[in-house]
Chain A
């Protein structure tokens, strides 16, 4: 069993416990045990860089924390993945910046030398596609639409994973678990979740367009693998339904749907039995 640290990120830690629960359970099934990453902090996301150049200290802190444990990091959100990888690349290419960051880290007893690898859950499952397929023996009768997390494949030059315009990796994982995927015309669009931070109504309209398109295509559920996508499409769906009665689509986390195909009881995946 390989051991990695689970970096839940703020959103999952605060309100998406079902995502964390199912991720731990399902990655355990395919040979990756997720250990607790005590004392992790916000990755910085797009929030801290909006206010200060010191954001990189926060991202580097998380990388250093993992390095001290001698473990790589598994992320659950696109934005955490991109931010941590962005910081790692900046520090890898800029010795002066790395020196400045290490001065800060030294104040709290840490240092970073560039050894931490950050992988999103889709990447981990893609690495172990054969185990996903071999472990999925239960037929799950649901046709799902996919919400690809933008930042797992974009910017392509940084992420180096999947097709940045038409991501395919999550589809391959879901299909390896034997689940039917429907195409829909909004599949490759961003969910729009981060727009909630500044313009709520337009963000809800983007989600409405996305959900309607999936329902029209015959989807019975939408699979997400990012806390931000879940926040808008799942946690805000009641707001969307207010202006669009009847618009309702179950939103399911990637490890939940794969977990069901593996025969893991729904309750152990944070789902109602």
Chain B
């Protein structure tokens, strides 16, 4: 995917906390095409706020991510979503809820998740 209306002005980078943390960032990819920072984002969206051209940075970043190997935590979280419907492990959900005095919650049937995300058999690669 191209950068759409992005002129590479670098305004987004001024506000990018990931760039300031010394990491490769999506704003570096946008500003000068450098690095592989698409997976390093805090989702603060100051870049979107600052962009003078209203570039759809979210969509650009998500497409860019699919060209790269995902970090282990992202891969695991997506696997969790595909298999259970939740990004975090929640096996003992209702036992823990009872301890806190919270009511029981019925989880989504994983068969429904498979219907909602049918084309995602291989994490990291869109079928």
Residues of A whose CB lies within 8 Å of any CB of B are 10-11, 13-15, 17-18, 20-21, 24, 36, 38-42, 44-54, 57-58, 61, 79, 82, 86, 104, 107-108, 150-151, 154-156, 164-165, 189-199, 202-203, 205-206, 270
Contact = CB atoms under 8 A, between A and B. Distances in A.
A192 B116 contact: no
A51 B41 contact: no
Decide if the interface of chain A is mainly helix, strand, loop or mixed.
Answer: helix
Decide if the interface of chain B is mainly helix, strand, loop or mixed.
Answer: loop
A39 B109 CA distance: 7
Nearest to A60: B116
Interface residues of B, number: 55
B78 A197 contact: no
Give the one of A44, A54, A104 with max B CB within 10 A. Answer: A54
A79 B87 CA distance: 13
- 9 smallest A-B Cβ distances: which pairs? A190-B44, A14-B88, A41-B85, A38-B106, A202-B21, A17-B100, A198-B71, A150-B44, A57-B116
A193 B40 CA distance: 11
B49 interface: yes
B42 A194 contact: yes
A11 B93 CA distance: 12
A198 B108 contact: no
B23 A39 contact: no
B5 interface: no
B73 A48 contact: no
A54 B116 contact: yes
Contacts of A189: 17
Interface string B87-125: 111100100110011110111110011011111100110
